[in-house]
Chain A
C-alpha cells in the first residue's frame, strides 16, 4: 500500500546505538510481554526468517518466529529439514511416555541459544546465583514429594522423578533469565494455571475441587489397597519422621522460594505499572510544566494551563480517568482524532488540521494509537514552530494508519537527547507494546512526519457507515 513505500520506514532506529533519540535502543522496542496475552497476532518484529526453509546448515538454534514454547522443535525442524509438526508430535509423545520429552525439551531450551544470539539461557543462568538456588530448592522439594510417593507405594511416580526434576529446575532458570519476548511466551502458556491459582472465578474453584477430589481418591485407593498391618505402618511412620525432619530443615527455604517466585512476578507487574505511569505523567504533567515555562510571561495563560492540568490530574487520581486518555466507551476513531484536534488547538493555540477516511470503533489497541497520535501532535506543536499541524487518519480493513505532519523546523532524530521521553516512550514504545509500528521522518528546515500504523484485531466491527 501507499504508506509503505519507502518513506514510512526510513527513520526506524535499527542500529542499537540509534537509541540516542529515544531512551531505548531498538532491541528494547520488542513489545513487553503484558500486552499480548492472546499472542495470536503472529510475528511482531520480523527478522526475515519466515517462510519454508530448506535444511539449515548452521549450528542448531532455537527458532524465534515460528515457536509455540521455546522454539526448540522449530529449530530442530529447520536444522534437519523435517516437518515441524512431526518434530512436535515426537516431543509430545516422548513427554507422555515417561516425561523425558519434557525434560529434553526444557534442557534444549536452556542450552541451545536462540536464533541470532550467541549465548544460551543456560550460560546466562550460571551467573545468576539466586536463580540457581531457586532451582535447587525446587528440586529438593520435588525429591521429598517423590520420596513420600515411593514410600506410599506409588513407585511408578519414581520413573517420573528425573524428568520432572530437570523440567522444573530448568523452567525456573529459563523464567528468570530468558529475554522479555520469551518470558511473554512462557507467561502466555502459564496463564491458565496462574488463573487457577488466583482462582477468583467459579470455574477455577470447580477445577481445583475436581483435582483435589481425584488426588484424594487415588491416595485413599493406594492406602487402602495394600494390606493394612502394623508391619506396613511402621516404615510409614519412619517416612513421616524423615519427612518432618526435612520439612523442619528445608521448610523456611521452600517458603522463601515461593515468596521469591511471587515477588518476582509482582516486581514485573510493578515495573510495567511504573512505565505506564511515567508515560502518563509525561504526557500530561510534564508537558504542561514545559508549556508553563515557555509562557511564563503570560500569567493568564499560565493560570489557565495550571488549572486545566490540576483538574485533569484530580480526575485521574480520584475519578479514574487517566490524563490524556480517551474515554474509550462510545468513541470512534474519527471522533477521537477530532478530540485531539480540539484539545491540542485549545491548549497550544496552534491550528491542527485533521482529515479522516473511514471510521471504526475504538478498542485498546486503537486507544493506544490515538494516544500516540496525540503525543506526536503535541510534540509537533511544541517543537516544530509550524503554524499548522496536519493529522491524516485512514481506517482500512486490516489496519489503521495515522500521519502527523508539520512544516516546521524539523530535527535530526539521532540528536534528540535520551531523556526526552516523547518519541521513544510515548510514541514508539506505546505502539510497539500493542503490536503497531511507528516511524519518524524529519528533514531539517522542511518539517517532520510521524507515521503510526496499528493492525486491526480480527473481529473488530466494520465501520458503521458505508
Chain B
C-alpha cells in the first residue's frame, strides 16, 4: 500500500509541527544544493534534519519522524525510492516529495510508485517549493507539469496489448475526462487555484482529482507504468 491512500484524512496536528510549520527532512547528496534550498525555504518550514545518502537518511528519518521528506531521486547509494520503501511501512505518517534534476520518466514514476506523494523539478521557485511541501504535508498530491505530462502520456489511448488483457481494471487503469483536463492544465503550468477558476471547481475538488490520479499512478498495472518501474529497479 502507498504511504497515505486517503488524502485529506490527516490534517494539521499530525501533518504539521507544533507551530503550524511543516517539519521537513531533506535528503540530497549535494551539500551546495541543500544549503540553497534551505535558504529558499527560509522560516516557512522547519528543517529538522538532512542526509546525503540512503543509509543515513533511513536511520535519521526513523529517529526524528518528520512530516515531509524532500527526497532527491538520485542518491549515491541507490535510488530515492529505497528510502521510501524502507520508511513507509514503519512510519506511514511520513510523506515524501520527490525532487529531481532529471526529467527521465522512469525515475519519476518509480519514486511515485514506491509511495512518494508528489514530484517537483529542482528548478522550482522557492515559494513554489514551500507550497508543494505544505500540500504534501496536508496529504495532497503535487504534480509538476512534467509529471502531469508523463501521466497523460502513460494513460493515453489504450495500447492494444492491454485492451484484451484480463488484468485491465478500468477503475485504476484509466483516467476520467475530468482528471485528464486537470492534468492538462497542470502540464500547461497552471496552479491549483487557476485550474479551479478555469474549470469552475473548488480548489478542494482539484486536489481530490490530483490525489485520485496519484492513486491510479501508484496502483495501476498499466504496461507503460510497470515497464518504467521495473526497468528502473533493474538498474
Contacts and interface: CB of A to CB of B under 8 A. Distances in A.
Q: Report if A and B associate in a common complex.
A: yes
Contact of B184 (A388, A390, A394, A405): A394
B146 A353 contact: yes
A411 interface: no
Contacts of B152: 357, 394
A193 interface: no
Nearest to A2: B181
A2 B185 contact: yes
A2 B184 contact: yes
A357 B145 contact: no
Nearest to B152: A357
Nearest to B153: A357
Determine the interface band of chain B, counting residues with CB < 8 A from chain A: 20 to 34
Contacts of A466: 159-160, 224
Nearest to B148: A355
Given A353-B123, A357-B156, A390 B189 contact: yes
A3 interface: yes
Contacts of A405: 188-189
B188 A392 contact: yes
Interface in B183-235: 184-185, 187-189, 198-199, 224
Chain B's interface: helix, strand, loop or mixed, by majority?
A: helix
A397 B158 CA distance: 13
B180 interface: yes
B127 to A, nearest CB: 12
B149 interface: yes
B153 A449 contact: no
A403 interface: yes
Contacts of B187: 355, 357, 392, 394
A358 B224 CA distance: 13
Interface of A: 2-3, 5-7, 351, 353, 355-358, 387-388, 390, 392, 394, 397, 403, 405, 407, 449, 466
24 contacts: A2-B184, A2-B185, A3-B184, A5-B199, A353-B121, A353-B123, A353-B145, A353-B189, A355-B145, A355-B149, A357-B187, A358-B153, A388-B123, A390-B188, A390-B189, A392-B149, A392-B187, A392-B188, A397-B157, A403-B188, A405-B188, A405-B189, A407-B189, A466-B160
Given A2-B181, A392-B184, A394-B152, 17 more contacts: A2-B185, A5-B181, A5-B198, A6-B198, A7-B198, A353-B146, A355-B145, A355-B187, A357-B149, A358-B153, A387-B125, A388-B123, A392-B149, A392-B189, A403-B188, A466-B159, A466-B160
